[in-house]
């Protein structure tokens, strides 16, 4: 019965997703607990050119932002399309999940998800080439994320030679 009644007061946008950080130091139970009480969001699908200032302006609309950590390419140390946004209180993060997730920043639909909390080292991409894993394998051309995916780039040089 309570399940039906809860449907009348649904808040599904703040639910935790299926994603779990494989590099998390601790067991699954600890990770769940941290996610459920976290004030920090992971933000993905950013343009490489999106600045901390733009992120701050947008995410301040749901609450006071404590800190932003821009994700970096491990090799180049330049922005590689994701960031963490930490709020002073959880309600700021919840409202971001409800009202900023799935809207546009820098003309791109961005995605937010709960994060267990920023730790030094987590600001780096985990792809082989230094950026994010998703940019290793994608096939499409995305000028805001370095063009073709890294794997696809390796196949490209033959084409370039044929053009003048």
Q: Does 31 bind other proteins (CB under 8 A)?
A: no
**Other residues' Cβ atoms within 10 Å of the Cβ of residue 73:** 20
Q: Select 92 or 146, whichever has its Cβ closest to other proteins.
A: 92
What's the gap between Cα 45 and its chain centre? 6
Site residues for other proteins, window 54-113 (CB under 8 A)? Answer: 54, 56-58, 61-62, 64, 68-70, 95, 98-100, 103-107
Residues 6+ apart with CB under 8 A from 141: 147, 148
d(CA 151, CA 131): 12
Q: Select 35 or 100, whichever has its Cβ closest to other proteins.
A: 100
Q: Does 47 bind other proteins (CB under 8 A)?
A: no
The number of C-alpha atoms within 13 Å of 96 and in the hemisphere containing its C-beta is 34
CB of 62 to other proteins, least distance (A): 6
Interacting residues with other proteins (CB under 8 A) = 1, 4-5, 8-14, 51-54, 56-58, 61-62, 64, 68-70, 95, 98-100, 103-107
């Amino acid at each position: 019965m309570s399940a039906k009644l809860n449907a009348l007061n649904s808040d599904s946008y703040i639910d935790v997703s299926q994603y779990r950080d494989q590099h998390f130091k601790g067991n699954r139970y600890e990770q769940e607990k941290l996610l459920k009480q976290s004030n920090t969001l992971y933000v993905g699908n950013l343009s490489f050119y999106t600045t901390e200032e733009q992120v701050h302006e947008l995410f301040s609309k749901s609450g006071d932002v404590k800190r932003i950590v821009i994700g970096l390419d491990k090799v180049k140390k330049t922005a590689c399309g994701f960031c963490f946004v930490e709020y002073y209180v959880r309600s700021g993060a919840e409202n971001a999940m409800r009202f900023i997730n799935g809207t546009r920043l820098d003309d791109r639909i961005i995605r937010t998800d709960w994060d267990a909390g920023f730790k030094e080292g987590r600001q780096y991409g985990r792809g082989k080439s230094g950026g994010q894993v998703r940019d290793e394998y994608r096939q499409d051309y995305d000028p805001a994320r370095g063009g073709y995916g890294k794997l696809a780039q390796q196949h490209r040089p033959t084409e370039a030679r044929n053009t003048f």
